[in-house]
Structure 1
Amino acid sequence: RQGHEQAEHFPRDYDGILAGANAFNWDRFITAELWPAVVMNQWNGGPIAAAKLNAVTNASTAACDAQDSIPGDGIIQDPRACTYSAKSFLCSAYGGSSSDPNCLNPREVSAVNQIWDGPRDAQGNRVWYGLERGTALNGLAGTNPFSIATDHFKYWIHQDPSFDWHTVTYASFVTDMLTSIAKFNDVIGTDDDLNAFRAAGGKMITYHGLSDSLIFPRGTYHYYNTVAQGNYQATQQFYRYFPYPGNGHCGGGIGPQINGDTLFSALVNWVENGVAPDFIVASQTTPVARTRKICMYPNVQVYNGTGSTDDQASFHCEVRNADDLSNTLTIGPQYETSTKANTDTGPD
């Protein structure tokens, strides 16, 4: 977030900026971090057992991985493409198909699906995003809500230290989101006008783990799209986004890993030598030794048809001029704070 604040408000301070796991849209994503706890409270009267959350996460990973472009590696290449329902993990005792000892009852199924889907209003409009399938749920859907989220409700939205988050309903959550936007977007929101940074010759690389359990990855896709306004090639001249499959918050997880040194070297090469990175090579040593290309968005990694899928040389980045999954990023207009998304017809 600090990197984007620099680009937005002090565009001539840095020639290059590396910014990852972007905590922008603070007024909305911090509010949305309470959503999993609200959902479990509404459906279940409290938390879902950690063993059950882990089991349904593993089931979603297996199902989504089986459908993606590199099946069998345990990594979901783009979670936005997966629509796995927790209903597939409903216990047989309730008419479902799962015999797993940690299968879900019907109310738990509904809760998990809503956690994945993210908050919506009574008209079905998306308010913000949810946790992705395959992402660990215990951080935001654990025994206790994430403290930053509860503090945001207490001290910022309601400005009442005694406020009890257990009183939040689906309807009041939407009201609280609108309050957060109205009160704090101008202070802790994120401006998507990067024209001054571009005019100053600045270059920026953004990255995000697609299994981030704290900051919703679709928020980064959303921001990049409000900047680009559909013209990715023009935006890529100064600003490139690299989504990392299977990575958690700032790293970790089951995919080839985010490496700050590698990313910074790519930024230096771009700024000082004019060599813009089309992909970053990521590596991991466990559970297997593996390298993969992390293609700049919206390009996608494609298997060449021969060679090991654990070797990045077996893949190429297919150039895309559009995001086939951009429909998964749409939020209701009343929750859209981007001036560019509402009024601007051209890219930065």
Structure 2
Amino acid sequence: MKKRNLVLPLAIAPLCLAMWGCNGHNHHDQIEAANSLPILGEATPGTLNSCEDLATQFSYSGTVITNAETLAAGPVSYNSDESYNAPAHCLITGYMNQRMGIAGPNGETATYQIGFEMRLPVDWNGRFYYQANGGLDGSVANAVGRFMFSNGSDSAALTKGFAVISSDAGHPTPAPTFGFDPQARRDYGYNAVAELTPMAKSLIEAAYGKQPDRSYFGGCSNGGRHTMVAATRYATQYDGFLVGNPGFNLPKAAVDQMYGIQQYSSLVTVDPDNILSSIEGAITEQEFGVVSKAVLAQCDALDGAADGMVNALEACQQDFDLNRDVPTCSDDRDGTCLTQAQKDVLSNIMAGAHNSANEAIYTSFPYDAGMGTDNYFGWEYTMALTRDSGTVGGVFTTPPTSVGNTDTDALAFIQSFSMDTDAPKIYATDAANGFTESAIEFMTPPDPTDMGTLRDRGAKILAIHGTSDPVFSVQDTINWYNGLQKANTNEADQFARLFLVPGMNHCGNGPATDKFDALDKLVSWVEDGTAPEEIEASVRANNAELPADWSKSRTRPLCPYPQQATYNGTGSVEDATNFTCKAPE
């Protein structure tokens, strides 16, 4: 690939930062000359022309509109914990491609369809946002344009004036029995996006008189996986991709979660009447906290400030040693130490799942300051036991296996699952029964380091990952980004940037500055050519995981990898202005 000079001239970059929405020809010509990549230009606004009549007048193949109504401005809930400010808008619900399909191991059938909701602001900014939801999908979340739950009520795309879609990804409930239907697997993995995208743009055109000028795709967790898949499969359909804690190797990560339960259960006598709580005694939340404190003792000051945050993540992995730095219990466990057996198990888990030949199934996890939290603990045990067992059995292995609905069923499946002979089933197919694609094929990006289509047309991808994510390893995302750089002569940062959030758990929480607005940064990069040099983040005052000695108004810059926030040496450690994004020494 031809080498590009992609550094913004210092005289141009400050001007662009000050000019949200600037897209005059001189401005664009200057930045395009500097970047050698297209700048797509700013979206132009529109006004809603139609709402209620869309229920009867909109026509698109395989699509049924079940309701269309105008709603006044006001808060819209995403779930019981989150509410987002919404302008006056048209709420549309419907479904696509209704059919009968398989819903269980004995040939049970169910109605399948790709359910969706769209919210179209009366005063539209000319942009479209695909809200990719998390987990197993299976229900249509309110289309508020959410990214991460912690980002604040004004950070949602709907609040900013985007038209937003949300879907159930083609199956009716989160139950993994949909995995017995090959088409439902494909819809969940990638095809729902392929079906919904052109329909949504057509519906927007019917409502506003034009299709969106700019289209964005975003989500966290499985939503981050959806976004990575869209960035490779549908790069011509979207202009910006906002990726959060992506499970883009989700089948591997789910097997890894089960590997963790295998390891933890080896430390305890499992009570058949209290399976989860007895396994949770393997390494308690308090004992995970001991590890976190030891990590801080070794690594906290590597970025120049002893502030309860590990910005120098990679250097920390070199400096921290579990056996040396965490006290080994000489007598009974008392919450201040780990036994040698506990250390051995934790070392195995942090190294990532392996088979008996020591071949990696999933990548390693870094030791970090956010390991001693409720969120970390819940993903290590509750989610791993109850969610991942059913998902691996029903959706990710071929042929699918029914696991059952109890903790007893889940544990039996996990304990009998072989990392040698069962784990490879995530790569298996069964064409005779319609399973022509393996879980790796329908769930993961075809080649996550091949983003040439995205790059060449001027689209951008902005990824964010918490360094204390217990389910989707930040190391996996770092490895992806390093591979992307290698595939692009170390110039991938001109269309893709990765921002790490120190201490943050899965899509939020943890001792972290986990409140930030990344969507504005992405829009500016796509439409103005202003690359994000940092993202200012703050703590959430109501975050129960915040250390008592942190200010409730602490701020930090999130830095594009491999840069890290480094203390300038003076001023309050609670203020982002006293930190600078720098490459590690």
- For the criterion TM > 0.5, the same-fold answer is yes
Whether contact under 8 Å (1:301, 1:315) holds in the other structure is yes
Superposition map of 1:42-61 within 5 A: 42-46=266-270, 47-49=278-280, 52-61=283-292
Partner of residue 65 from structure 1, selected from 280, 296, 308: 296
For residue 91 of structure 1, give the secondary structure of its aligned residue in structure 2.
coil
Q: Which amino acid aligns with 1:21?
A: N
1:26, distance to aligned residue in structure 2 (A): 1.8
Q: Tell me the residue number matched to 2:567.
A: 303
Partner of residue 241 from structure 2, selected from 7, 13, 17: 17
Whether contact under 8 Å (2:380, 2:470) holds in the other structure is no
Q: Which amino acid aligns with 1:109?
A: K
Matched, 1:161 2:398: no
Matched, 1:184 2:439: yes
TM-score computed with the length of structure 1 as normaliser: 0.80
Superposition map of 1:1-348 within 5 A: 1-46=225-270, 47-49=278-280, 52-68=283-299, 69-70=302-303, 72-80=306-314, 81-82=316-317, 83-85=320-322, 88-93=326-331, 100-101=334-335, 103-133=337-367, 134-135=370-371, 136=373, 137-142=376-381, 145-155=384-394, 156-157=396-397, 159-162=400-403, 165-166=411-412, 168=414, 172-182=418-428, 183-190=438-445, 191-192=447-448, 193-229=450-486, 233-259=490-516, 262-284=517-539, 285=541, 287-288=550-551, 289-319=553-583
In 2, the alpha carbon distance for the partners of 1:208 and 1:61 equals 18
1:112, distance to aligned residue in structure 2 (A): 2.3
- Indicate how the Cα distance of structure 1 residues 308 and 132 shifts in structure 2: closer, same or farther if over 3 A, else same: same
Whether contact under 8 Å (1:86, 1:112) holds in the other structure is no
In 2, the alpha carbon distance for the partners of 1:30 and 1:145 equals 8
- Indicate how the Cα distance of structure 1 residues 171 and 106 shifts in structure 2: closer, same or farther if over 3 A, else same: farther
Q: Which amino acid aligns with 2:322?
A: S
In 1, the alpha carbon distance for the partners of 2:346 and 2:564 equals 29
In 2, the alpha carbon distance for the partners of 1:292 and 1:249 equals 19
Structure with greater strand share of residues? 2
Whether contact under 8 Å (2:563, 2:581) holds in the other structure is yes
| Structure 2 unmatched ranges of 5 or more | 1-224, 271-277, 404-408, 429-437
1:79, distance to aligned residue in structure 2 (A): 4.7
- Indicate how the Cα distance of structure 1 residues 168 and 54 shifts in structure 2: closer, same or farther if over 3 A, else same: closer
Whether contact under 8 Å (1:211, 1:245) holds in the other structure is yes
1:295, distance to aligned residue in structure 2 (A): 0.8
For residue 309 of structure 1, give the secondary structure of its aligned residue in structure 2.
coil
1:226, distance to aligned residue in structure 2 (A): 2.3
For residue 175 of structure 1, give the secondary structure of its aligned residue in structure 2.
coil
- Indicate how the Cα distance of structure 1 residues 294 and 8 shifts in structure 2: closer, same or farther if over 3 A, else same: same
Size of the aligned set, in residue pairs, is 315
1:103, distance to aligned residue in structure 2 (A): 4.0
Show CA shifts across 1:213-243 (max 9, x none). Answer: 3322222112222222275741000010101
| Structure 1 unmatched ranges of 5 or more | 325-348
- Indicate how the Cα distance of structure 1 residues 272 and 138 shifts in structure 2: closer, same or farther if over 3 A, else same: same
Please, which moves more after superposition, 286-295 or 40-49?
A: 40-49
Identical aligned residues as a percent: 25
Structure with greater helix share of residues? 1
Q: Which amino acid aligns with 1:282?
A: A
1:38, distance to aligned residue in structure 2 (A): 0.9
Higher-Rg member (1/2): 2
Whether contact under 8 Å (2:536, 2:556) holds in the other structure is yes
For residue 243 of structure 2, give the secondary structure of its aligned residue in structure 1.
strand
- Indicate how the Cα distance of structure 1 residues 72 and 59 shifts in structure 2: closer, same or farther if over 3 A, else same: farther
TM-score computed with the length of structure 2 as normaliser: 0.49
Whether contact under 8 Å (2:469, 2:506) holds in the other structure is yes
- Indicate how the Cα distance of structure 1 residues 107 and 126 shifts in structure 2: closer, same or farther if over 3 A, else same: same
Q: Which amino acid aligns with 2:381?
A: G
In 1, the alpha carbon distance for the partners of 2:461 and 2:252 equals 23
